[in-house]
Structure 1
Amino acid sequence: MRIPYLGVLLVVFSISVFPAFGQENTDDTEPKEKLHKDVEKAYDAYDAQEYTLAIELLKTALGEVRGRDDKSTVLFKIAESYRNINDYKNAENYYLKAVKLGYKDPIAQLHYADMLKAQGEYEEAIVAYQDFKQENPTDRRAEIGIESTKKAIEWMDSPSRYQVDLMKDLNSTGYDFSPSYAGKRADDNEIIFTSTREESVGKKEDGWTGGSFMDIYVSSAERKEKGRRGRGASTDEDELVSPASLKWSTPKLLDEEIVNTKSHEGSAVFDSRRKELYLTRCLVEKDKKFGCGIYISEKLGVNWKEPEQVIIGTDTSANVGQPALSPDDSRLYFVSDEFNTKGVHDIFMTTFDRRAKIWKTPTNLGSKVNTDREEYYPFISGDGQYLYWASNGLPGMGGLDIFRIKLGEDGMPAPNAEAENLEYPINTSFDDFGLVFQGTKDEVGFLSSNRKGSKNDDIYGVVKTPLVFELEGVVTSSKTGLPIPQATVKLDGSNGTSVVVNADKDGYYIFDKDKIDADVQYTLTFEKAKFLTNTGNTTTIGVDLSAFEYIPSANQFLHKLQVNKALDPIEEPIVLPNVFFDLAKWDLRPEARAALDSVVPIMKNNPTIVIELRSHTDYRGDNKSNDVLSQHRADTCVSYLVSKGIAADRMVARGMGETEPFNIQEGYKGYGAGQLEEGNRLTEAYIKRLPPEKQEVANQVNRRTDFKVLRDDYVPAAGPVDQDAVDPKDIIADKNSGVNNALLVIFTS
């Protein structure tokens, strides 16, 4: 939680000139005249925020103080010092010692819980927050700590799509952070960032960090390696490439005289033309530290113009830093502890008055962004839609977390917008901040973090792992269940794409990830000679991330879609489901209409076939009456299909009477399946040998309607039939109907 350190850096150490900047209010120090000289010296270093020195002196002072109150105060200050230099383990130990010794301010217990959380010890942190809540039941920070820690556990178990990789070419043993894009916009292969590495112009040791002063460095990507499939920021044909997979040049100072000086420089951003540089500078003269300000410079050839301070409002001495610009450069966002700041540091926005040539009095971004703690490192997305920033005052995983919020047309948070935590692995239990994205999309970028694996603050490459789809299936015969070799499968997408593949000898087909896109509705058409063409549907719209499998070797999330399809052989009669008639009648019931509706797409998908619609009866009743009844029913079915737009000359109605008892084939799954033995024909003699309850089942199976393909060379003789001839209200859809479910058409007589 190097929070005050970050504040000091505003990006750079501004708080060191303001003793209370970024500190908890711990008014627990005795008057200086009563202190032992070693204790006074230690307290002076602590108050001056010289934390690396303060730790050493405070440990010495611990032996010079007497009494539980005094000792617990020193222990607390040691813990605070460790917290400010990001040594969470030692901070945790000293907070606990202070609590056990009876430190009077409950903030020690809260910070103890924070340190556990910052190390990813989430279960222990929850217990510590609960202890704090028990002693301070009205303090909301306890409940926020508990709930956000539970969320952190969930986010760790279900990572987001982002991949975060250490930028080994850029980082040093010092602090490296706050990257920003530089160079030509068309390439986006150059960045600037802030660093305390040894090459810095400011050679003096910073008392807070123990390292060099901050300067701005630049590095360029020298070589692109092949990335994984996806769309990049420049064109739709580009591939998404993690910055960490590129080769970057050895970082060098942006400038050694004009931009970078013996003071602190850092957290810089270019305007939209990549011509003018806005940077944070914190002046240091003769060991005296002054406030931070935003400065603007411009590169002219190989030289830089002397930076000029950006005056915001009328306050020429305002302590400000960490600039960010809207895509059109009309709005400047920054961090400050002034301008009626609500918390320790807030984010503000100001617009440029072109007539007066000044930046107007800034506006606080409000409670949706700013909290009673710290907010840092604003960044505006390339399309101007979102503000990204870091905060430790909103529910997060520990330390600073990165958030985003939707912006309105005025550049302020939109009325109904809420802060979104970017979750793991963008965020961790450590400090995560300074996120920037390339171009107008949130796909490729950089962030800063002191997470596990970092030396101090390090820069990480960010890439949004692609969601890829594959579609596969097997084409089989509805009669035998066997695969249909070399079946043709056509895939048509709602985005206008169309692809055709052939199934292999086992009926297996696949459309790989290069042929399937996200957010598309797909229709499949299955064809094979001597089989009826069939269709299927699938979609890549709204597929939850949990449905994907992460494939480490390919660096992608993969979701496999599957559509298996059975095709009906044209030489076999196809039983229609649920065509019911009342006793001795041939009027279509609603169920029968819905079942016959399933024939319509078959006829449309197979425009060259002519079918025979056949109605059957059971053996009961005389042959002549059964023949007449079945013919009327077949005629009724044909008439209904004509009303649905199927040409009359493509159908022949035939009443079968009781002449063709049904044969229970192997694998039969229709009406009565499991009650009637496979391999038997339902003749009158066979049925009469069955138990009474099975006799009725067998008779119902025989009372069926089916259709048989007579030929497949039909050529229309006239124009299309009016498909609106029937009132849609007369049609009752049955979502479970279809020719492949092998249900019988059952009659009551």
Structure 2
Amino acid sequence: MNKSILRLMILLLLLPAMMSAQKQKTERAYAAWQAGSYYEAIDYFKDVYSKTRDKQLKAEMVFMVSEGYRLVNDPRNAELWYKRAVKSPFPKPEAQYWLAETTKKLGRYQQAIEEFRKYRQLVPGDPRTEQQIRACELAMEWQANPESYNVEELKEANSKDSDFSPAYGRDDYGLVWFTSSRDDAKGNKEHGATGQSFTDIFETRLDKKGKWSTPVPVDFVNTEFEDGSPSFSSDFTEVYFTRCEAGKRENKGCVIMYSTREGVNWSDPGKIELLVDSLVAAHPALSPDGQTLYFVSDMPGGVGGKDIYRTTRTSPGSPWSRPENLGTDINTRGNELFPFVRSDGTLYFASDGHIGMGGLDIFSATPQGGDSWLVQNMKAPVNSPADDFGIVFERDADKGIFSSARKGRGDDDLYTFEMPPLLFSVTGLVRDEKSGQPVQGAAVQLIASDGANMQTETGAAGDFKFSLRPEVDYIFLASKKGYLNGKEKETTRGQDKSREFMATIQLTPIDRPIELPNIFYDFGKWDLRPESMVSLDRLVETLNDNPNVTIELMSHTDSRDTEEFNLDLSQKRAQSVVDYLIGRGIVADRLTARGYGETSPKVVDEEIMKNAPFLRLGETLTEQFINGLASDEQKEIAHQVNRRTEFRVLRTDYEPAR
């Protein structure tokens, strides 16, 4: 018999058995999947993928492997398999969506935006797309401008397995309980969804040297099943935690357990009857007053996957009320998990449904009255592209512990966070307004809205420095003989990040007249035009800052009219300025008005040359000089320079009448 025919006959005889074996493996894979054993199911799906020649089945297996890696929180492998899934002969649109989500979770936000745009072309009406693109844009902004929290890994407590969901067990915050799947866990069975041991509750203590002890199991709460997510009452006499009695291929749901303490002894844990069996009641969080218990559930009628609910009681030991969903301000079509309540009523929780940086992000929710909440992302560095969740605070302090998978291994670790105290300071420089040179030996006084008053002296570089306090307004007043006082203002109000302010105070020398810019009159008149008020109001401020100074207001005209007319006009103009200052509260005996007409032409300085480069430094703008200029335009500029209002200091020892 021909060998080829013999092989074909053998293959035909074996084919039904091979197909039956393949079908059994596929059924086994989906059975594990339905039981939530994603870690186990991945291997089954891979096995079917590697052995089948059916292209459609191959494509389905690629997609299921991708989904498995996503659900066991392995974004690197998930991304690899989703890329295969979208290129397969039978691609699913949701593979493109989850490829974009996984890329986002890996922190490659710009690339994720492009992947979401590809998904938008496949499914134009999905509202998630625009939200996720906006989330990527915000995540890049938050990474570029992080909040001021200091975040550090709590290395003493972490292991090679998952460590998460901490809770403080004493009012000195030197005892922490947390959830872990490490080797010391009592539940030694392998969790089908994670491939790790069932979790237990462990504790670690802070020693006198500030080091955390090696974690040990809290034996009285741990069982062979999943135990975790502890939450203490504010007086630390009650503890609530989650227990999930799950077998290898069955799921009995999760329940909330509790125990009470008398002295140093804890009671045997008991079950809180909130839901029927097979439903999830997990992640308990007791309010500071002990009257409200927040928890997570997947009960029917919710908003999304897992929602946050609350139940109330009238006193310790009394029955809990029927659970109430927190509503759509908190809960989304995604998952809301790991609630925690601070003493001011702010609720913290993790969510993958609100706009976030990737995976689970931590959010704060402030009650707004009724059932309304103001929900805000905690942003970087508390949040990251990976899962961030399970936060607790030290009562009123802005510090605590949270959980994160940011290392990229897929396992969770504990991290401390602390908002450092706001530190403010001002570094200043005092300069001569005319020369620009630093002024050494100037006295600088700090005047603060909280009553603080300090003084220092500038160094050789004209520099000074003060430490500042939060939420305070400051004035820095500089003075030195031969100068008018100068000042600058700063405020730390509304500043939410530490900052060093920079201030430059200009001191005006009084050894020469000081020109008032932008003082305008109509032609041949002495009434002040409205645009003059800005400059004169600054002069009012200068006189108030220099209460011992008297001045002469000096008005000058150009040479185009008779000397008598110009003297009379300039006197009236000077008097108009004086009258304005008196009207603004400056006493009359500090002010003298004098008109100079055309008798005191301007001498060209460097400032004038900036606007009139055809003039020479030191030249006096006499009528003869102006008439010799090359053009009418140059002559008009020179006449304009001569038309000016100035003041000069007459005395610096004025004492107001009492």
Indicate whether the TM-score tops 0.5: yes
Q: Aligned equivalents of 2:105 and 2:305: distance in 1?
A: 20
Equivalent position amino acid for 1:617 in 2: T
Alignment pair present for 1:194 and 2:153: no
Q: Aligned equivalents of 2:77 and 2:248: distance in 1?
A: 33
Q: Aligned equivalents of 1:318 and 1:85: distance in 2?
A: 21
Whether contact under 8 Å (1:39, 1:64) holds in the other structure is no
Moved more, 60-69 or 197-206: 60-69
Deviations 1:645-681 (A, max 9, x none): 22222223333333322222344479x5535322112
Whether contact under 8 Å (1:265, 1:282) holds in the other structure is yes
Unaligned stretches of 5+ residues in structure 2: 1-18
Partner SS for 2:245: strand
Aligned residue number for residue 167 of structure 1: 154
Equivalent position amino acid for 2:643 in 1: R
Residue of 199, 206, 212 corresponding to 1:214: 199
Alignment pair present for 1:529 and 2:505: no
Whether contact under 8 Å (1:161, 1:466) holds in the other structure is no
Aligned residue number for residue 403 of structure 1: 363
Residue of 335, 341, 350 corresponding to 2:296: 335
Aligned residue number for residue 337 of structure 2: 376
* Structure 1 residue 200: Cα displacement: 1.9
Aligned residue number for residue 358 of structure 1: 319
Aligned residue number for residue 271 of structure 2: 309
Partner SS for 1:74: helix
Matches within 5 A, 1:97-496: 97-103=84-90, 105-184=92-171, 187-222=172-207, 247-253=211-217, 255-256=218-219, 258-283=220-245, 290-312=252-274, 315=276, 319-338=280-299, 340-354=301-315, 357-384=318-345, 386-410=346-370, 412-414=371-373, 417=374, 419-440=375-396, 443-452=398-407, 454=409, 456-464=411-419, 468-496=423-451
Partner SS for 1:447: strand
Whether contact under 8 Å (1:46, 1:77) holds in the other structure is no
Aligned residue number for residue 650 of structure 2: 710
Equivalent position amino acid for 2:204 in 1: S
Q: Aligned equivalents of 2:101 and 2:580: distance in 1?
A: 73
TM-score of the superposed pair, with normalisation by structure 1: 0.78
Moved more, 166-175 or 276-285: 276-285
* Structure 1 residue 172: Cα displacement: 0.4
Residue of 38, 54, 64 corresponding to 1:67: 54
Aligned residue number for residue 561 of structure 1: 501
Partner SS for 1:291: strand
Alignment pair present for 1:55 and 2:17: no
Moved more, 269-278 or 477-486: 477-486
Partner SS for 1:378: strand
Equivalent position amino acid for 2:602 in 1: F
Q: Aligned equivalents of 1:82 and 1:480: distance in 2?
A: 70
Alignment pair present for 1:578 and 2:518: yes
Partner SS for 1:563: strand
Residue of 630, 634, 637 corresponding to 2:577: 637
Partner SS for 1:661: coil
Whether contact under 8 Å (2:281, 2:297) holds in the other structure is yes
Q: Aligned equivalents of 1:606 and 1:481: distance in 2?
A: 21
Q: Aligned equivalents of 1:637 and 1:594: distance in 2?
A: 12
Deviations 1:209-229 (A, max 9, x none): 2322211122233367xxxxx
* Structure 1 residue 165: Cα displacement: 2.3
* Structure 1 residue 592: Cα displacement: 4.2
Q: Aligned equivalents of 1:654 and 1:145: distance in 2?
A: 71
Unaligned stretches of 5+ residues in structure 1: 1-31, 225-245, 546-556, 719-749
Equivalent position amino acid for 1:439 in 2: R
Distance verdict in 2 for CA 1:685–1:391, change over 3 Å: same
Q: Aligned equivalents of 1:111 and 1:622: distance in 2?
A: 88
Q: Aligned equivalents of 1:651 and 1:98: distance in 2?
A: 86
Q: Aligned equivalents of 1:659 and 1:597: distance in 2?
A: 28
* Structure 1 residue 33: Cα displacement: 8.4
Partner SS for 2:468: coil
* Structure 1 residue 429: Cα displacement: 2.5
Q: Aligned equivalents of 2:534 and 2:269: distance in 1?
A: 78
Q: Aligned equivalents of 2:232 and 2:419: distance in 1?
A: 24
Q: Aligned equivalents of 2:641 and 2:77: distance in 1?
A: 80
Distance verdict in 2 for CA 1:317–1:65, change over 3 Å: closer
Q: Aligned equivalents of 1:128 and 1:615: distance in 2?
A: 71
* Structure 1 residue 618: Cα displacement: 3.3
Moved more, 595-604 or 526-535: 595-604
Deviations 1:201-260 (A, max 9, x none): 223333332322211122233367xxxxxxxxxxxxxxxxxxxxx63222222x31x222
Equivalent position amino acid for 2:344 in 1: D
Whether contact under 8 Å (1:631, 1:653) holds in the other structure is yes
Deviations 1:412-437 (A, max 9, x none): 433xx3x4333333333222211223
Moved more, 32-41 or 391-400: 32-41
Distance verdict in 2 for CA 1:605–1:221, change over 3 Å: same
Matches within 5 A, 1:665-680: 665-668=605-608, 673-680=612-619
Alignment pair present for 1:682 and 2:646: no
Whether contact under 8 Å (2:253, 2:277) holds in the other structure is no
Aligned-residue sequence identity (percent) comes to 40
Moved more, 345-354 or 173-182: 345-354
Equivalent position amino acid for 1:199 in 2: D
Residue of 613, 621, 641 corresponding to 1:701: 641
Whether contact under 8 Å (1:38, 1:64) holds in the other structure is no
Moved more, 585-594 or 600-609: 585-594
Equivalent position amino acid for 1:484 in 2: V
* Structure 1 residue 458: Cα displacement: 0.8
Equivalent position amino acid for 1:676 in 2: L
* Structure 1 residue 119: Cα displacement: 2.3
Structure scoring higher RCO (CA < 8 A, sep ≥ 6) equals 1
Whether contact under 8 Å (1:198, 1:212) holds in the other structure is yes
* Structure 1 residue 272: Cα displacement: 1.5
The size of the alignment, in residue pairs, is 639
Aligned residue number for residue 736 of structure 1: none
Equivalent position amino acid for 2:478 in 1: F
Whether contact under 8 Å (1:613, 1:708) holds in the other structure is yes
TM-score of the superposed pair, with normalisation by structure 2: 0.88
Distance verdict in 2 for CA 1:103–1:519, change over 3 Å: farther
Whether contact under 8 Å (2:285, 2:293) holds in the other structure is yes
Q: Aligned equivalents of 1:430 and 1:217: distance in 2?
A: 24
Whether contact under 8 Å (1:475, 1:487) holds in the other structure is yes
